[in-house]
Amino acid sequence: MFQNNKIIKILKNVKKYLVEDISGSLEKILIIDDKRYLLINDQKKGSYGKIKFYSDEDSNDFICKSALDNYSLASFKAEIKIHSILSSFQDIYLKNNIIPRLFYVYKVDNSKFKELMMEKYNEDINDMFVNMDINNIQNKYLFIELLYQISSHLRILQKYFNFIHNDLKPNNIFYKLIDPSKKVSYNNIIFVIGDFGGSSINFNNNLISGEVKGSSKELIKEKDLFMLVHIILTFVKNKYKNNLIRFLNKLFKNEVYINMAVSQDNKWHKLYTMNKYPSIYKPNNVLKRIKKLYPQFNSIY
């Protein structure tokens, strides 16, 4: 996938993230490369990691992530490697970010857990899409923009890394506004993919994988978008669900598994472990469908 000189270049860039001289203090100050970062809120715990928010002396905000516990440590170690390689790749070769940019990988004092310091985005997209009325034209275009950007990201990652996220849900996609003074809209938003604790990549003939329910180490091109679409459908408010089903059936040629997109008894968990996923959800196919059905739509990506 990569020539040797490009592999060497990426690996050299990865090493720049690794920092040994780190110190913390009782005043909630983190010092890295003589730069001071102030902890601005308490830790937030997710399913697989702890999140802390820092701000530097220029009021730039950052997210720092570490393993939740010993149980999640193996997946977090894989996430460090995957995030470092993908971030290095995009820093060198891509114009637009497809994952949150990584700044440092480090340990604080005598902690046994490493931390990642990365670019902070506004939030994940969960609340945005739970409350989405697809009959509103602006909302429809916002949904299409999400699919277009994420499909474009996945196409690149699949091509160069045999990347599979394995847990691509709204909580693992983050956004920021191009112009913060304006409201959320399809032409004022950037989406990126995050949280790689269950992901798998192949780089330099090495398979690097984390662990989540139903994780696949082999590339299944259609799995990630299939999961994303069906998890959004699972948790969208009931008053918007039927309209969303009609929209998705049109876009995905009636390959929408409504019986699995159900939160009751956690039926949606079966989305992780299907033996086969419809080919219409391959990133290239999704991009083609958008261009065919919505020729008037122009993505910002």
Q: What is the CATH number of the domain that holds 280?
A: 1.10.510
pLDDT at 32: 87
Backbone angles phi, psi at 285, to 5 degrees: -70, -35
**Domain assignment present for 300:** no
Task: Please indicate, yes or no, whether residues 197 and 227 belong to a single structural domain of this protein.
Answer: yes
Given 89, 119, 149, which residue is the final one in a domain? 119
Task: Please indicate, yes or no, whether residues 74 and 141 belong to a single structural domain of this protein.
Answer: no
pLDDT at 27: 61
**Domain assignment present for 269:** yes
Task: Please indicate, yes or no, whether residues 14 and 111 belong to a single structural domain of this protein.
Answer: yes
Q: How many structural domains compose the chain?
A: 2
- The percentage of residues in the chain with a pLDDT greater than 90, rounded to a whole number, is 78
**Domain assignment present for 90:** yes
Give the sign of the dihedral formed by CA 23, CA 32, CA 173, CA 277. Answer: negative
CATH of the domain at 26: 3.30.200.20
Q: Quick one: average pLDDT of 236-260? A: 97
The parent domain of residue 87 ranges over: 4-119
pLDDT at 21: 67
**Domain assignment present for 36:** yes
Asked whether the predicted pLDDT for residue 43 surpasses 70, the reply is no
pLDDT at 269: 93
pLDDT at 230: 98
Asked whether the predicted pLDDT for residue 129 surpasses 70, the reply is yes
Backbone angles phi, psi at 227, to 5 degrees: -65, -45
36-45, 134-143, 280-289: the lowest-pLDDT one: 36-45
Asked whether the predicted pLDDT for residue 96 surpasses 60, the reply is yes
The tens digit of pLDDT for each residue in 196-226 reads 999 999 999 999 999 877 778 889 999 999 9
Q: Quick one: average pLDDT of 5-9? A: 94
Q: How confident is the model at residue 49 (pLDDT cuts 50, 70, 90)?
A: confident
**Domain assignment present for 281:** yes
Residue for token pair 């923009």: 145
108-122, 153-167, 283-297: the lowest-pLDDT one: 108-122
Task: Please indicate, yes or no, whether residues 172 and 199 belong to a single structural domain of this protein.
Answer: yes
202 SS3 class:
strand
Q: And the tokens for 138?
A: 């602006």
Given 119, 141, 160, which residue is the final one in a domain? 119
Task: Please indicate, yes or no, whether residues 54 and 141 belong to a single structural domain of this protein.
Answer: no
Which amino acid is it at 178? I
Task: Please indicate, yes or no, whether residues 51 and 9 belong to a single structural domain of this protein.
Answer: yes
Q: Quick one: average pLDDT of 244-263? A: 97
Give the residue among 224, 211, 227, 229 at the shortest CA–CA distance from 163.
224
Which amino acid is it at 239? K
Which regions of 58-140 does DSSP assign to beta strands (E)? Answer: 61-67, 102-106, 115-119, 123-124
pLDDT at 31: 86
Task: Please indicate, yes or no, whether residues 209 and 177 belong to a single structural domain of this protein.
Answer: yes
Asked whether the predicted pLDDT for residue 24 surpasses 80, the reply is no
- The percentage of residues in the chain with a pLDDT greater than 70, rounded to a whole number, is 95
Given 103, 119, 135, which residue is the final one in a domain? 119
pLDDT at 162: 97
Task: Please indicate, yes or no, whether residues 32 and 109 belong to a single structural domain of this protein.
Answer: yes
Task: Please indicate, yes or no, whether residues 33 and 170 belong to a single structural domain of this protein.
Answer: no
**Domain assignment present for 299:** no
**Domain assignment present for 301:** no
Inter-residue contact 223 to 216 (CB < 8 Å): yes
For residues 70 and 59, give the distance between their C-alpha atoms in angstroms, rounded to a whole number.
33
Q: What is the pTM of this model?
A: 0.95
The tens digit of pLDDT for each residue in 291-301 reads 999 999 999 88
Task: Please indicate, yes or no, whether residues 238 and 183 belong to a single structural domain of this protein.
Answer: yes
- Of residues 290 and 75, more confidence is placed in 290
Asked whether the predicted pLDDT for residue 134 surpasses 70, the reply is yes
Q: Quick one: average pLDDT of 73-91? A: 95
Task: Please indicate, yes or no, whether residues 265 and 241 belong to a single structural domain of this protein.
Answer: yes
For residues 86 and 156, give the distance between their C-alpha atoms in angstroms, rounded to a whole number.
11
**Domain assignment present for 298:** no
Give the residue among 190, 165, 161 at the shortest CA–CA distance from 93.
161
Task: Please indicate, yes or no, whether residues 180 and 138 belong to a single structural domain of this protein.
Answer: yes
Q: Quick one: average pLDDT of 147-174? A: 97
Q: Quick one: average pLDDT of 137-161? A: 97
Give the residue among 207, 202, 215 at the shortest CA–CA distance from 160.
202
